[in-house]
Amino acid sequence: MKKNLISTIAVDGPAASGKSTLGEHLAKTFNYTYLDTGVMYRAVTLAALNQSIDFDDEDRVSEIAESMELDVRRPSINDGRSNDIILDGQDVTWAIRSAEVERNVSKVSAYQRVRTAMTEQQRRIAKRGRIVMVGRDIGTVVLPEAEIKLYLEASVEERAHRRYLELINRGKAVTFEEILSDMVRRDQFDSTRAIAPLRPAEDAIIINSDHMNADQVYEYSCKIISAHCSN
């Protein structure tokens, strides 16, 4: 496969659709940089939490996004992480995965100044080339010029089940009903927000993973990339 023909692969989709798993697997296969842009918005959310800022205060939350020192690096610790997330010099890789961050990140990511600040960082990183970027608006807003755009989708029940198992395996005390309720609310918020709403790009290849496991989604995506490279 002529891997050098592709500079950017965009992977979009709702929460727990499998896009992060796919993106990380593709990045390892092709030796590309992996960037799940959701970690950036989670980092902003965590910073606001740490400073006890009201999430309804758009100006103060936006100021944090515009002034924070944020870096996404290759993993330095073999503890299951796919990247190091460094916020103001501190490793927050797992801290940004808390339930409190999960509940508030959609509101934070809907603020225009926050999105502008994060988008600028994402585009800067993408200019290096050879990147798999994962998010909700990569193919539509951040990198509309991406050579390959994949959009993963699955039913909200299936996605809630996946997230529930993920959190239980990490020792979190959660219920399926709680996760499902949060996910329904988040889907509604993400798909109806005025700025960069969740939707597939017009030229994206849509993959429904309801009846596919992670390996099957990966294999199918590799076929798509192989077909693109052979054209």
What CATH code is carried by the domain that includes residue 191? 3.40.50.300
66, with CB counted inside 10 A (0-12, 13-18, 19+), is middle
Same domain, 122 and 91: yes
One domain for residues 225 and 137: yes
**pLDDT of res. 129:** 86
Residue 227 and residue 229: Cα distance in Å, rounded? 5
Q: Are residues 65 and 2 in the same domain?
A: no
**Would you call 181 helix, strand, or coil by DSSP?**
helix
Provide φ and ψ at 161, rounded to 5°: -65, -40
Number of domains in the chain: 2
Q: Which of 85, 112, 129 is the last residue of a domain?
A: 129
pLDDT tens string for the chain (231 positions)? 444 468 899 999 998 899 999 999 999 998 888 999 989 999 999 999 999 999 999 999 999 999 999 988 878 899 988 888 999 999 999 999 998 998 999 899 889 999 999 999 899 889 888 899 999 899 999 999 999 999 999 999 999 999 999 899 988 889 999 999 999 998 888 888 887 888 999 999 999 999 999 999 999 999 999 888 776
Q: Are residues 84 and 172 in the same domain?
A: no
Same domain flag for 145 and 200? yes
Same domain (yes/no): 57, 80: yes
Element (H, E) at 9: strand 8-12
Range of the domain at 86: 33-129
pLDDT at 231: 67
Tell me the helix, strand and coil percentages in the chain, rounded to 5: 50, 15, 35
Would you state the pLDDT for residue 17? Answer: 92
Same-domain pairing of 28 and 42 = no
Residue where a domain terminates, one of 96, 129, 162: 129
Do 202 and 168 lie in a common domain?
yes
Of 110, 129, 148, the residue at which a domain comes to its end is: 129
Judgement on whether residues 179 and 98 belong to the same structural domain of the protein: no
Q: Is residue 118 located within the same domain as residue 179?
A: no
Determine the angle formed by the axes of helices 156-169 and 176-192, rounding to 10 degrees: 130
Residue 145: its H or E element:
none
Q: What is the pTM of this model?
A: 0.80
6 and 75 part of one domain: no
Same domain, 28 and 39: no
